[in-house]
Amino acid sequence: MSRRALLAALSCGVAPLAFPAGAAAPGLTLSGRLEQGGYVLGRTASRAEVLIDGVPATQASADGWFVVGFDRDAPPSAEITVQTPDGSASHRVAIAPGTFDIQRIDGLPPSQVSPEDPVLLARIAAEGARKAAGFSSRADGDFFRTGFIWPVKATRRSSRFGGQRILNGEPKRPHYGVDLAAPAGTPVVAPAAGVVTFAETGLHFEGGLILIDHGQGLISAYLHLSRVDVAAGQRLTQGQLIGAVGKEGRATGPHLCWRLKWRDRNLDPSLWVADAGMRQ
């Protein structure tokens, strides 16, 4: 691995993976968190095609950086291949199983658990379509390569990524975010540079919601905001103010729900922070 690639890996708080000398062109180096909900950062030739288990997935940036995410329910291994007209290189990575808890939340309004009103359902569907458009962004960049910082100064992590949710006694899909408890009005900042792809207030489930594309479809989400200070299309730098903590939407108290997706895969955003320790 080159010195530059090694420094980039260390800046993300991850350990580089070792590869045999003389790897076939175009060359491939990887670092990351190899676990369910984790990710790999790759460095290869400029604009190389990236395949996962033989299926085209993304393209490296002009500087050769790319990201691959592993879903909460990812299989135990994945083969990552890069291709250029000059050749290809591959490496199979082992993906460790995650540890996920069970999260029970009671006392929610029925409309926030299993809505039935036709007007409300139509509103939720319309909001879902707008959110889907935001998540479909594929910014041509590699803002993710410098790592992430915490988006809020939280008092504690009130909920971990991936826990099975039971709402008002009704099993629901897993919680794909990290909940960071903080007083209402606490500033929320961009944990990495990127482009805003969605910024709205008053959503039924999320309240104030912001989506940021950090390059190649790696999109972070910020839910339950009491204030949104950015607009779709706006470019952000790491640490830039984007909004404020609230308890809007489906929330029982003030906190930031921080989420991360790569394409259609749900990732644990806390794994991107070099010092991920936080009191539970």
243-254 pLDDT, tens per residue? 999 999 888 889
How does DSSP assign 61-125, residue by residue?
Answer: -TTSEEEEE--TT--SEEEEEEEETTEEEEEEEE-BPP---EEEE----GGGTS---HHHHHHHH
Per DSSP, the three-state class of 55 is strand
| pLDDT confidence of residue 164 | 75
CA angle 254, 147, 83 (to 5 degrees): 130
Closest CA to 32 of 149, 147, 158: 147
d(CA 239, CA 108) in angstroms, rounded, equals 33
φ, ψ of residue 124 in degrees (nearest 5): -60, -40
Decide if 58 contacts 68 (C-beta within 8 A). Answer: yes
Decide if 254 contacts 246 (C-beta within 8 A). Answer: yes
227-274 pLDDT, tens per residue? 999 999 999 999 999 999 999 988 888 999 999 999 999 999 999 997
31-55 pLDDT, tens per residue? 999 999 999 999 999 999 999 999 9
The structure's pTM equals: 0.84
Decide if 181 contacts 158 (C-beta within 8 A). Answer: yes
d(CA 171, CA 177) in angstroms, rounded, equals 17
89-115 pLDDT, tens per residue? 999 999 999 888 777 777 677 777 677
Decide if 61 contacts 215 (C-beta within 8 A). Answer: yes
